[in-house]
């Protein structure tokens, strides 16, 4: 029976390189996927591209390619990645440059484009955005990016045409995994169980080390061994659509019923209706079975149909945040922090700062849960407290007033303040609209070295 092994080399833009190297060297895999885009990531990448047209791809692209390219080529491992981000063309150029420097030949690289519709948004100005409930045309902000969550079809086509590396911009995370499965087994959207299982495979693996114990461990409650050498996941799927999840033997972490169950529920709302570009999948009958240590069999996901729309991620410049922090030590640290907070709030009124939203946090006391927990469980005295104040403003200048008042505490605040930090940052907000699939045309371009 035919089987295909696929590993996840990265689950975010900034992820460790060592697990990916471990996968190509000892994972006995056919594919390695680098899934590196989040909602705001591509908007940030678009900003980088606007400043420098040669940038806009995932910053760790070069390190990852230099780390795995030679071994992947030697072992016949194909690479699938959305590290093209806002500039797939520049990403491909860099990969080709690295391949030539490393004297790697007979390498075919495919680029999938068509997701960037930033310059086409006028036709969608009457569509309501999910989060704000305003139409796109009512958005009073500078739009930075608009990218469609493409499906797996173009990845499948690129692989059908012999691509060794497929570079995309924004595609749905799971599509990076579904595409190779469609290519290998000839599955289509009509193969409801197989596509459902492929989608589940992608969902479980897309966050890399999360399913092997990262973002899972909780000492004393959910202990996980050797997190410092956490291994990334591998899935082995056969022509029935059933698959196992495992990892490289000897790597850190674990693959178990508990890690798989927790990852199944990660970032989904209705488990009976998990919507992706290629399938609407029902996870409610999924079964995990521990076959042996670090090997879990996964069955039961099924597609309920195909959506006829695409989600579009819209990134826009929303506001500025002025913020600052200052630390206090000793048993009187909380009262001194509170005096500082009072000084800053009164000073901001004096200087006339226009602030839309303002927040004070005492880190170590109530910064996560405010008074819901701290009033009931926190001690009366604290050995150390870090004060954080922040404000959301429409202008950079108003945000700077907040940051400056923190700096003034060096000589104008109470005794014992230390470690003052202040900053102003522009906030990129994210909205989403839905558009017809028929509006989008994807293109595939090929290069060879």
Residue 421 in any domain: the answer is yes
For residues 229 and 343, state if they share a domain: no
Residue 262 in any domain: the answer is yes
Which distant-in-sequence residues (6+ apart) come within 8 Å of 133 by Cβ?
none
Backbone angles phi, psi at 140, to 5 degrees: -95, 70
- Total structural domains within the chain: 2
Would you call 366 helix, strand, or coil by DSSP?
Answer: coil
- Quick one: how far is CA 434 from the chain centroid? 20
Residue 383 has pLDDT above 90, yes or no: no
Residue 448 in any domain: the answer is no
Give the pLDDT mean for 171-192: 97
Residue 368 has pLDDT above 90, yes or no: no
8 Å CB contact between 33 and 205: yes
Here the tokens at position 386 are: 């870090």
Which position has the higher pLDDT, 269 or 36?
Answer: 36
The predicted model scores a pTM of 0.93
pLDDT in tens, 14-31: 999 999 999 999 999 999
DSSP string covering 37-99: --TTHHHHHHHHHHH-TT--S-TTHHHHHHHHHHHHHHTT-EEEE-TTTT-HHHHHHHHHHHH
8 Å CB contact between 327 and 384: yes
How much is the pLDDT for 417?
73
For residues 388 and 264, state if they share a domain: no
For residues 207 and 278, state if they share a domain: yes
How much is the pLDDT for 15?
96
How much is the pLDDT for 373?
65
The rounded distance, in Å, linking the Cα atoms of 424 and 437 is 39
Residue 60 in any domain: the answer is yes
How much is the pLDDT for 416?
75
8 Å CB contact between 280 and 307: yes
pLDDT class of 134 with cuts at 50, 70, 90? confident
The rounded distance, in Å, linking the Cα atoms of 9 and 28 is 13
Backbone angles phi, psi at 390, to 5 degrees: -150, 150
The rounded distance, in Å, linking the Cα atoms of 370 and 387 is 13
pLDDT class of 349 with cuts at 50, 70, 90? very high
Q: What percent of the chain is modeled with pLDDT above 70? A: 97
Would you call 126 helix, strand, or coil by DSSP?
Answer: coil
Residue 303 has pLDDT above 70, yes or no: yes
Domain's final residue, options 251, 276, 307: 307
Residue 39 has pLDDT above 80, yes or no: yes
How much is the pLDDT for 272?
96
Residue 75 in any domain: the answer is yes
The rounded distance, in Å, linking the Cα atoms of 303 and 190 is 9
How much is the pLDDT for 380?
66
For residues 359 and 259, state if they share a domain: no
pLDDT in tens, 221-258: 999 999 999 999 999 999 999 999 999 999 999 999 99
Q: How far apart are the first and last CA of the chain?
A: 34
- Quick one: how far is CA 152 from the chain centroid? 18
The rounded distance, in Å, linking the Cα atoms of 113 and 170 is 9
Mean pLDDT of the chain: 94
For residues 295 and 341, state if they share a domain: no
Backbone angles phi, psi at 216, to 5 degrees: -125, -40
Position of tokens 């309501």? Answer: 128
pLDDT class of 105 with cuts at 50, 70, 90? very high
For residues 205 and 256, state if they share a domain: yes
Domain's final residue, options 307, 332, 352: 307
Strands 287-292 and 418-436: unpaired
For residues 299 and 162, state if they share a domain: yes
8 Å CB contact between 343 and 413: yes
CATH of the domain at 329: 3.30.70.600
How much is the pLDDT for 322?
97
For residues 290 and 353, state if they share a domain: no
Q: Is 78 left (phi over 0), alpha (psi -120 to 50) or beta?
A: beta
Residue 443 in any domain: the answer is no
Residue 74 has pLDDT above 90, yes or no: yes
Residue 370 in any domain: the answer is yes
pLDDT in tens, 60-69: 999 999 999 9
Residue 396 has pLDDT above 70, yes or no: yes
For residues 294 and 344, state if they share a domain: no
How much is the pLDDT for 382?
73
How much is the pLDDT for 257?
98
Domain's final residue, options 282, 307, 332: 307
- CA dihedral of residues 299, 305, 306, 308 (deg, nearest 10): -150
For residues 369 and 283, state if they share a domain: no
Q: What percent of the chain is modeled with pLDDT above 90? A: 84
For residues 230 and 296, state if they share a domain: yes
Residue 4 has pLDDT above 70, yes or no: yes
For residues 370 and 293, state if they share a domain: no
How much is the pLDDT for 379?
63
Range of the domain at 71: 3-115+150-307
Residue 237 in any domain: the answer is yes
Region of poorest pLDDT, from 218-222, 247-251, 366-370: 366-370
């Amino acid at each position: 029976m035919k089987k295909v092994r696929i590993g996840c080399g990265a689950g975010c833009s900034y992820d460790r390189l060592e697990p990916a190297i471990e996968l190509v060297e000892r994972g006995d895999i056919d594919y390695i996927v680098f899934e590196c885009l989040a909602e705001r990531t591509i908007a940030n990448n678009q900003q980088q591209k606007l400043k420098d047209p040669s940038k806009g791809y995932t910053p760790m692209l070069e390190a990852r390619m230099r780390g795995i390219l030679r071994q992947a080529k030697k072992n016949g491992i194909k690479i699938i990645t959305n590290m093209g981000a806002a500039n797939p063309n520049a990403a491909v150029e860099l990969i080709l440059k690295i391949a030539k420097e490393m004297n790697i030949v007979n390498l075919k690289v495919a680029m999938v484009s068509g997701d960037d519709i930033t310059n086409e948004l006028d036709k969608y100005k009457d569509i309501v955005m999910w989060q704000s409930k305003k139409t796109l045309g009512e958005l009073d902000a500078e739009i930075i990016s608009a990218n469609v969550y493409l499906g797996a079809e173009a990845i499948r086509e690129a692989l059908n045409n012999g691509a060794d590396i497929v570079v995309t911009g924004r595609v749905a995370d799971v599509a990076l995994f579904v595409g190779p499965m469609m290519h290998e087994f000839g599955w289509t959207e009509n193969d409801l169980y197989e596509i459902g299982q492929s989608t589940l495979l992608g969902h479980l693996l897309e966050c890399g080390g999360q399913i092997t114990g990262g973002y899972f461990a909780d000492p004393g409650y959910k202990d996980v061994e050797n997190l410092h050498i956490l291994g990334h996941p591998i899935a082995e799927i056969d022509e029935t659509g059933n698959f196992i999840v495992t990892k490289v033997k000897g790597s850190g972490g674990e693959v178990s019923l508990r890690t798989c169950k927790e990852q199944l529920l990660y970032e989904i709302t209705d488990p009976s209706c998990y919507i992706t570009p290629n399938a609407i999948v029902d996870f409610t009958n999924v079964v995990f079975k521990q076959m042996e240590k670090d090997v879990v069999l996964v069955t039961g996901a099924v597609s309920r149909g195909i959506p006829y729309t695409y989600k579009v991620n819209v990134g826009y410049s929303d506001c500025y945040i002025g913020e600052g922090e200052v630390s206090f030590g000793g048993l009187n640290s909380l009262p001194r922090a509170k005096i500082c907070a009072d000084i800053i709030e009164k000073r901001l009124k004096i200087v006339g700062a226009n602030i839309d939203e303002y927040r004070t946090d005492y880190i170590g006391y109530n910064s996560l849960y405010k008074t819901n927990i701290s009033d009931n469980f926190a001690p009366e005295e604290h050995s150390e407290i870090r004060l954080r104040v922040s404000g959301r403003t429409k202008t950079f200048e108003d945000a700077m007033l907040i940051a400056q008042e923190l700096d003034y505490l060096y000589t104008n605040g109470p005794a014992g303040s230390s470690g003052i930090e202040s900053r102003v940052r522009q906030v990129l907000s994210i909205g989403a609209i839905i558009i017809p699939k028929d509006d989008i045309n994807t293109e595939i371009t090929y290069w060879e070295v």
